[in-house]
């Protein structure tokens, strides 16, 4: 996440204030470093675009949260205790009409957007055995990625 933040600060997120609140005791995540970098670059880029040129704040946080379990095909149950959040204070939030289809291909509000960023994020997270959720109201949007830990 620190690498992604530095890439963002030196490029598309200039002028955005970053706040990092990381749990230093988290266990490792089994997965592709490059793909996870892509996930968080996409989420941070969307957050920076939601904030706009006036500047704002993106909060990156990690936490350990017991209790979330996912039943995968075949009946196996997976714990998803690793929580990574990207929160922005963009003024509009995600409109109601987009919420049900936000992770579908070609859904976008950006004039030059392809609508493939969030579907790619969802696929990578799913391929890593995790899930992604979001919550949005005007002035606060949070994308939360929950991943399994290495056993």
Total domains in the fold of the chain: 1
Task: Provide the pairing of β-strand 57-64 with 69-71.
Answer: unpaired
pLDDT over 90 for what percent of the chain? Answer: 60
- pLDDT tens digits, one per residue of 47-84: 999 998 777 999 999 999 887 777 666 767 777 889 99
- pLDDT of 72 reads 65
Least confident of 28-32, 34-38, 42-46, 62-66: 28-32
Compute the distance between CA of residue 151 and CA of residue 142 in angstroms, rounded to an integer. Answer: 28
Compute the distance between CA of residue 18 and CA of residue 74 in angstroms, rounded to an integer. Answer: 41
Which tokens in the block code for residue 15?
């002028």
- Any residues with CB less than 8 A from the CB of 146 and at least 6 apart, and which? 65, 68, 80, 81, 82, 83, 84, 130, 131, 132, 133
- Residue 98 gets which letter from DSSP? H
Which structural domain, as residue segments, surrounds residue 28? 1-147
Mean pLDDT (the chain, rounded): 89
CATH of the domain at 135: 3.30.565.10
Query: What confidence category does residue 85 fall into, taking pLDDT thresholds of 50, 70 and 90?
Result: very high
């Amino acid at each position: 996440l620190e690498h992604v933040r530095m890439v963002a600060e030196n490029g598309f997120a200039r002028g955005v204030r970053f706040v990092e609140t990381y749990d230093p005791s988290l266990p490792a995540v089994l997965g592709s470093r490059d793909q996870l970098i892509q996930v968080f670059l996409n989420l941070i880029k969307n957050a920076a675009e939601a904030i706009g040129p006036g500047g704002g704040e993106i909060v990156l946080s990690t936490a350990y949260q017991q209790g979330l379990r996912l039943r995968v095909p075949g009946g196996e149950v997976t714990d998803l205790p690793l929580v990574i959040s990207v929160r922005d204070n963009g003024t509009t939030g995600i409109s109601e009409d987009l919420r049900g289809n936000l992770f579908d291909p070609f859904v976008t509000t950006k004039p030059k957007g392809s609508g493939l960023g969030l579907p790619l994020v969802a696929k990578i997270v799913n391929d890593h055995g995790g899930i992604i959720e979001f919550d949005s109201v005007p002035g606060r949007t949070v994308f939360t990625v929950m991943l399994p830990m290495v056993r």
